[in-house]
Structure formats: C-alpha cells, structure tokens
Amino acid sequence: DEIRFSNTARYTADFTPSTTAFTTDANTKLLIHSNESSESTTFTDSSSNTHTVTAVGDAKHLPPVKKIGTDAVYYDGSGAGNGNTYLQVTDHTDFDFGTGDFTIETWAYQTLSASGGANYHVVWHTSDTDQHGIGLIWKANGNLELQFGNGSWSNQVISNTYNNNQWYHFALSRSGGTAKFYVDGVEVFSGTRNGTYDGNQSLKFGGWRPVANGAEILGNTFQGYMDEMRISDSARYTSAFTPSTT
C-alpha cells in the first residue's frame, strides 16, 4: 500500500510514517495508492508521470484478509498442502454429539493453488481405528466434500467450484437425523445422516493428523484463513439464512 518513488531524500532522521494517502508533487516519480476494488489487477500510477504498471502472475488487490473483527486465523499450509499447521482442541465430550443435533460452521478463505487431486482439510474430528467422526475438506478441483464416519466412511461431494481468495461461510447442521450443508447460507446438501459421529481424537481446524497403529499420519493441511469458527450442540440452521457478518 502507498508505494512511492521520489527523486529526493524525503527522510534524513527518524520520523512517523504517514497513515494517510500520499499526494503527488514535483519529486514524485511513481505513486501507487492500491485503492482498486478487491481482486482487481489494475495498478494506477498516480504521479504526474502515469507510468504503466503491469500485474504479473497472481498480483492483485486484496483487502486485509479478515472477515469479521480485527483479524483471522492464518494457516500457512507448510508447503504444498502436506504440512502440520492447524488448530487443535483436546478431545472432549463436548464434541461427542451421539445421534443428537449439532452445527459446525466457519468462514474460510483458501489461498493454496491446489494441484494433484489433494484434499485440504477445513475441519476434522475422528476416532482412532473405528472410523467414527466427521470432516469437511476443500478439494483441489474446487469441490467440497463432507465426510461422515459411523463405523465406515460415507462421503458426500458438493460439486461446485469454490474459488481461492474468496470468503465463504460453511455450515453443517443436523436436526433430528437430517444433515444439511450450507454455503453462504444456501442449502447445497440435505440427507439422512443419523449416525453416531463421536471421534476420540482431538478436534482440528485446518488439518488432519489421524492416528494409525499408535503413530500420527501426516495429512493435507489447509492454506488460507478462517474466521468465526463455532461448534454447537444444536441445529442452528434448518433452512436458508444470511450468515452473520458481525
């Protein structure tokens, strides 16, 4: 933000950087305010020289990467999706929903340019060997996949293209044995899912490290941002809704 080249030494001693926009003057040779709309690849030289600025690769304008409040959780992915960056909550009965109602939701913003068919885990809570648990992954092709474990895995692919560098609100809500999944408040899946999804491993946001034969296995981790992650033991959503932005 506020990129400026000048043909003068503007600073020769300690100073307080300006938090307002620069104005052009006779000594300003290049000035980029970066005030375009989000995702724009247009970069304007606001000096009197009007140099041509070309965006190369994925260079673009983006707002501060947060959805609500002052910040968001950042997951660096630790490489091409196979890292160990995630949030972990020690296993607790609070996350053992049995056959009862629940809601798992988060805002998510993925930055990884996925390739090779990898899966990037948004939320994961599973057991050690008996395949009980629940998960949400963001697939390399832009699809989402819900994973329900009740002794064996039943996976549900949400076939759509959910783009990188864009905020989405994901919510999985079960009421009376019927699970519904919403993206930005729009229902994209509904089906009977009345199993017992009680994991006995830690709950993870942004990662997947299951245990097999007593050892953790490295999984595909999320790269990007999450905000307002919430788990509830009630079905907060049973029809279309407008996600909160507070």
Closest by alpha carbon to 36, among 66, 71, 63?
A: 63
pLDDT at 240: 97
Q: What are phi and psi of 95, to 5 degrees?
A: -100, 5
Higher pLDDT, 80 or 227: 227
Segment 21-40, tens digit of pLDDT: 999 999 999 999 988 876 78
Q: With a cut of 70, say whether residue 84 has pLDDT above it.
A: no
What is the pLDDT, as a whole number, of residue 66?
76
Q: Which positions ≥6 away from 110 have C-beta within 8 Å?
A: 120, 138, 162, 164, 165, 222, 223, 224
Average pLDDT over residues 107-122: 70
Summarize pLDDT for 93-112 with one digit per residue, the tens: 998 888 999 999 999 998 86
Could you tell me the two tokens for 195?
């199993």
